Every structure is written in structure tokens, then in C-alpha cells.
A and B are shown apart, each in its own frame.
Chain A
């Protein structure tokens, strides 16, 4: 249900050479998983359990999901999902949990497993502190190069014309959230999250999707200067 192609292009295009363990490449692998698993904000139970916050989860413990006895037993015996345990499981699930009901042959290539685990890690708040009250665990961690883009405040003021038709420039919230006085990093992260469709609202996905990185940075520079709402 999540459109996971766009962020690959958008993030990869910016962040320079893709590192060895790439969430962006992992997103491609994720296509094999998503028939049965959901991830991201509002992820739902499908054939398999949602995979938000997977890293650090004790196996067989997602609330209200009916696991195989084998998986529950494995959790009770101490199986916790970490990059290491996932690596073994994903290579051939039945090797680690013999009677798991997950019918998936496995990922033979080490790079595929590494990338998929890197992708899953994006959705795990295990080792994240809450970065900002406006951010959600599913929001991406933007590369430093992206956050370092210096926004043209005047261009941002012009572009903000599109925003302030709904988000009031005074910061008043009458049903649409205030975005004034947000730290630039927060603003950029949220806009990238919409552009990559990690966040759901189609109006925001559309607006963010029409903006390039420099334009998002310009907006961030402009809104940062405005007085924050109470």
C-alpha cells in the first residue's frame, strides 16, 4: 500500500553513492514481502504481522497477530529480531524457525538481506530517541548532505504561497496543523516523508511531490523564521 519507488530515486539521487547497506535498495527487495506484510504509519495486519519497530521485537509478540506455535516458542526461548538473527531467518526462514507459517523461500544473496534489513531498520524506532514532537518514527532520517542544503528564504516565501492557503501563516490551527517556527530539519524531514509517501495525506504527498530538494529547503528556511504557534 505504500508507494516505495519514489523515495529510492529521490533519496538515492541526492545522497551520493549508495552505501553498502542501502535502505533504498532494500525497498526494492521489500516488494517480495509486502504481499503479506505492511509497514509504515497505520500499517495493518495482513497475512503476516506489521513490521514497524521490528528490530528489538521478541519473536512472535506483535499484539493480536496469530502466530504459529513454533514462532511463539522461539520468542519464549529468547529469539529477538536483530540484524544478525534476521540475516539468518531471511536466508531461509525454516532454517531458524522450522515450523513457521511464513511461506517464503528466502533471500540467497547476502546483499539483498543486508539491504532489506537496512530498510526494515528505517521503520524501527528501537535505537531512536524522539527527534522532535512533529516527527514520527516512520519519518526518514535524512542524509547530512540533504539537511545541509541552504534554503533560499525569498524563494521559500514565494513557494509558501501554496502552503498558506491551508496552513495559516499566523500559525493558527483551525483543523490544519500549524507549521510556523518549525526547525528547518524537522520541516525538511516531514516534507521528504510525504514526498516518499511514508506519510499518507494525498494533498501533502502531491504538494511535496512537486518540490525538489532545493525548494523544500527554501520553504524550510522561510517557515523556520515565522513565529511558532503556542
Chain B
């Protein structure tokens, strides 16, 4: 068989054109698009821009101009922090790191064309896409509740106006009223979060409404730092807090927002505030991008936080299903650095070191009574796996608890600077 020279040249040229297409569209600099400007996304954007010295074009898509952190928002509810102290803007990421910050909603991902569609109608091309959208709520998780009733019964599990609303409702409670919380099933954002929130609400009520009660309906048998929280509740808020676990119908709840009733196992209770924290799933855009599983989370490999559905997509933080790490701002920030290293390695050939992850979750029970839980992690073929951890102990002296709280304040300042520049 003789080789037809013209055909050979033709197919070679075609093959070259196909192979070089991504480079042509990248116009010299590879493009990274990051969806979500929280602890995961903003950190990833900053680290990719910072460490690539301008070799990578980074676009950060985040709808809000001021981002309010969910972490530490409970301290605002307790009166330990000003609301404004939770807010962060993107000026430094744009000015000092050259990141294109686009305040818009990402409404779709075309994985074949490698573009992200924005609500404004434009589309942004990427070579690598980082999705870090946080959580959304599972539809119908709590009968009687949906997003249209969130102003009657706030979730306050995405910080911002919801957090302010919940605080206003707590402050408006009648003397001796009832604050109810529906806690979420696993897995969910910030495992100690609901219980720190109960502590902070109790702190406020003890000073301002000491005959008020707190009722928790909880579908879980146990929860993070349970022994520490329960010990703290006994010491600080004796008789104020009642938790109904699944044994007592905590897993069979519905709400009636119009009449402010919480129904537990068929029995209706009139409440004054009802904080509904529904079951959760990855932020909607992860689902739209087609990178979520049946459980609603986005499975990733710990080696670079790469989606198991698409090797050009990374998913960070709460939205990802990665293994042992809790869904927390600290975890998202930690994962973002591994992701940034992996993205740079893929696009610029920079060195990729073995991934290491860490997490610590601090919680405040009452004034100067802080506790913490934390661990280190590494990537395995199966998942991100814990390599050991620690947790505060009951009976620690007051100085230790105070130091733990003060450490958490230092951490907030540190991680804020690490995320937002």
C-alpha cells in the first residue's frame, strides 16, 4: 500500500489543528475560572494568581460584592461580634493579584466547549474550572418549608441577610418564648455549627430573656463535640436547652410557617423563632455542571480536588465529596491550596508536591469558654483520609478555654487575610 502524500499531509494538519485548539483559544495565557468567592474559591483564585506570577489568567465569579462568612456568624448572634466584621470585599484580589472579579451568577457550564454561562448572558471560557459554590438545601427536606418561607423561618446557614433576620427574630422573642432549631442530617456544612449556634442563642437569652427555652429537633443520634457542648450547656444554661434526637421524633418533623408551629412526631408546638437548617447538597451550579452524584455532592480525588466526572474541573469545600474532612471554611481553604498547586502544575508545569490537608473547628459555648476539634489529612487513592486528630477535653481549666477562644479570633483574622488578601 502506498501512502498518499496529500492525504497524509491533510490528516496531519487536521490533527495538529485539533490538538492545538485549546492553546489557540487560550491566546497565550491559560485561563482558570473560579465559581464562588468563599473560603474555597477566593483562596484558590488568590493562590493560583499569586504563585503563577501572572502566567495564568484568573477569573473569579461571585454574585455578591460583600461576602459574609458563615464561620463566626454564630458569634454575631451571641453578641460577640459586629455584623460588619463578617463582611469581606474583593478589592485586593482584583487590585493586588490581577484577578478578574466578575459579580454575576454562574448559571451553566458547557463542559465540551469549556465555557461558563453567566446570568448576564455572557460566557467565559476556561482551560480549568474550579467550582466552589458551597451548599444548597435539599428540596422538600422539611415538609412545610421551602425557600419561599425562609423569611418566616430562616435557615441563616448562608451568612448575610438571613443571619441578621435570625438575630432580629431572637431579639423580638417574648419573655419566656421558645427558640426552636431543626438541625440537619449528615453530611452538612460546619458539623459543630448548629450546636455553637444554640450556645450563642442561649448566651443572648440568658442575659435578655432568661425564662426563654430552646428546643432542638435533631435527626442525628450524635453530633460533633457533643460531650463538650452538653457539658457546657449544663454549666452555663442549665434547664434552658432541650434536644430531641431521633428517639424522640427529632427525625420526624414538619413546620407550619403561617402559624409558627413546629410539628415533631405528629405533635405541634407553637414557637416564637424557628431556625430551619434543612438537609444539604452541593451548590446548584455543581449539579448544573453535571459533576454531582446521586447524593447531591461532587465526588473528587484528593490529588488536586479534581472532579471524578471531568478532569478539567476541580470542586472545593462544602460542595465536594472528598472523604474524611468536615465541611468547613478551614477545610475549603486547605483544599484550595492543594487545588491551586494542581492547577498550576497542569497549566504551567510547576512542581506538584504530595497533598496535605488540615482542619480545625473552634466553637464558643459562652464567654471565654472556647473548644476545638481538628485533624490532619492526606490524599489516598480512595479518599482524603484522616491521619490523626485532637479534641478539647471536658474539665479543662478556664485559662485553657479562654486561650482557645482567643486563638479562634486570631484564626479568623488569619484565614480572612489568606482568603481575601
- Residues of chain A having any CB pair with chain B under 8 Å: 154-155, 157-159, 161-162, 164-170, 172-176, 201-203, 205-207, 209-210
Residues of B within 8 A of A167 (CB): 414
Give complex CA distance A206, B392 in Å: 13
Q: Which of B337, B389, B414 contacts A176 (CB 8 A)?
A: B414
Other A-B pairs, 20, CB within 8 Å; known A168-B414, A172-B417:
A154-B351, A158-B341, A162-B356, A162-B358, A165-B330, A166-B410, A169-B417, A174-B409, A174-B413, A176-B413, A201-B407, A202-B372, A202-B390, A203-B390, A203-B407, A206-B390, A207-B376, A210-B356, A210-B376, A210-B388
Q: How far is the CA of A206 from the CA of B374 in the complex (A)?
A: 8
Instruction: Give the shortest distance, in Å, between A176 (CB) and chain B (any CB).
Output: 3
Contact with A along B377-399 (1 / 0, CB 8 A): 01000000001111010000000
Listed A/B pairs (23) with beta-carbon separation below 8 Å? A157-B51, A162-B337, A162-B356, A164-B414, A164-B418, A165-B411, A166-B411, A166-B414, A170-B417, A173-B410, A174-B413, A174-B414, A175-B407, A175-B411, A176-B407, A202-B374, A202-B392, A203-B372, A206-B360, A206-B388, A209-B376, A210-B356, A210-B387
* B8 in the interface (beta carbon within 8 A): no
> Residue A168 contacts which of B341, B376, B389, B417 (CB distance < 8 angstroms)?
B417
Asked whether A158 and B337 contact (CB < 8 A) given A166-B411, A206-B375, A207-B376, the answer is yes
From A155, which residue of chain B is reached at the shortest CB distance? Answer: B353
Instruction: Chain B residues near A174: list those with CB within 8 A.
Output: 409-410, 413-414
Q: How far is the CB of B52 from chain A (nearest CB, A)?
A: 13
Q: What distance in Å separates the Cβ of A186 from its nearest Cβ neighbour in chain B?
A: 20
The reply to whether the CB of B322 lies closer than 8 angstroms to some CB of chain A is no
Q: Which residues of A contact B372 (CB under 8 A)?
A: 202-203
| Complex Cα–Cα for A175 and B408 (A) | 8
- Docked pose: A175 CA to B404 CA in angstroms: 10
A162 vs B376: C-alpha distance in the bound complex, in angstroms? 10
Q: Could you tell me the distance in whole angstroms from the C-beta of B266 to the nearest C-beta in chain A? A: 44
* Chain A nearest CB, measured from B5 CB (Å): 49
Query: Which single residue of chain B is at the shortest CB-CB distance from A170?
Result: B417
Chain B, residue nearest A210 (CB): B376
- The answer to whether B410 and A205 have CB atoms under 8 Å apart is no
**Bound: A170/B414 CA distance, A:** 10
Which residues does chain A contribute within 8 Å of B378, judged by CB atoms? Answer: 210
- Residues from chain B with a CB closer than 8 A to the CB of A169 are 417-418
When distances are taken between beta carbons in the complex, the residues of chain B under 8 Å from A210 are 356, 358, 376, 378, 387-388
Q: How far is it, in angstroms, between the C-alpha of A217 and the C-alpha of B51 when the chains are bound?
A: 21
A155-B353, A206-B388 known; A161 vs B414 contact (CB < 8 Å): no
| Bound Cα distance from A165 to B407, whole angstroms | 12
- How distant is the Cα of A172 from the Cα of B392 in the complex, in angstroms? 27
Q: Is the CB of B334 within 8 A of A161?
A: yes
Q: Is the CB of B356 within 8 A of A159?
A: yes
Selected from A154, A158, A159, A203, the residue in CB contact (under 8 A) with B360 is: A203
How far apart sit A201 and B388, CA to CA, in the bound complex (Å)? 15
Contacting residues of chain B (296-325) with chain A, CB-CB under 8 angstroms: none
B415 on interface, CB distance cutoff 8 Å? yes
Is B376 touching A206 in the complex (CB atoms < 8 A)? yes
Neighbouring A residues of B237 by C-beta, 8 Å: none
B358 near A207: Cβ-Cβ < 8 Å: yes
* Bound-complex Cα distance A209 to B389 (A): 10
**Cβ of B333 under 8 Å from chain A:** yes
Check if B97 is an interface residue, CB within 8 A of chain A.
no
Nearest chain A CB to B146 CB, angstrom units: 36
B414 touches A203 (CB 8 A): no
Q: Is B409's CB under 8 angstroms from A175's CB? A: yes
Please report the C-alpha to C-alpha distance between residue A9 and residue B198 in the assembled complex, in whole angstroms: 43
Any A CB within 8 A of the CB of B139: no
B404 to chain A: closest CB distance in Å?
9
Expressed in whole angstroms, the Cα–Cα distance for A172 and B333 within the complex equals: 19
Give residues 62-84 of B contacting A (CB, 8 Å).
none
- Closest CB in chain B relative to A167 CB, distance in Å: 6
Give the complex CA separation of A155 and B354 in angstroms: 10
B residues 128-176 in Cβ contact with A at 8 Å? none
- The minimal Cβ–Cβ distance linking B165 to chain A, given in whole angstroms, is 29
| Complex contacts, A203 vs chain B, CB 8 Å | 360, 372, 374, 390, 407
Does A206 contact B389, Cβ atoms closer than 8 Å? Answer: yes
CB of B406 within 8 Å of the partner chain: yes
B51, B358, B378, B409 — most chain A CB neighbours (10 Å): B358
Min C-beta distance of A223 to chain B, whole Å: 14
Query: Known contacts A164-B414, A165-B333; is A175 also within 8 Å of B390 by CB?
Result: no
Q: CA separation between A159 and B330, bound complex, in Å?
A: 15
Which residues on the A side are within 8 Å of B406 (C-beta)? 175
* Complex-state Cα separation, A165 to B410, whole angstroms: 10
Q: Which residues of B contact A201 (CB under 8 A)?
A: 407
Closest to A167 in B: B414
Q: Shortest CB–CB separation between residue B364 and chain A, in angstroms?
A: 14
Q: Is the CB of A176 within 8 A of B411?
A: yes
Q: What CA separation (Å) do A194 and B297 show in the bound complex?
A: 36
Question: For the complex, what is the distance from the CA of A219 to the CA of B227, rounded to whole Å?
Answer: 36
Output the least CB separation between A172 and chain B (Å).
7
A176 to B389, CA, bound (A): 20
A-side contacts of B179, CB under 8 Å: none
B413: chain A residues within 8 A (beta carbon): 168, 172, 174-176
Q: Which 3 pairs, one residue from A and one from B, show the smallest C-beta to C-beta distance? A: A175-B410, A176-B410, A161-B337
A159 vs B51: C-alpha distance when bound (angstroms): 13
B47 at interface, CB cutoff 8 A: yes
Q: Which partner residue on chain A sits nearest B409 by CB separation? A: A175
**Bound complex: CA of A187 vs CA of B388, how far in Å?**
23
Cβ-defined contact, A162 with B407, below 8 A? no
A202 CB → nearest B CB, Å: 4
Give the residues in chain A near B374, CB-CB below 8 Å.
Answer: 202-203, 206
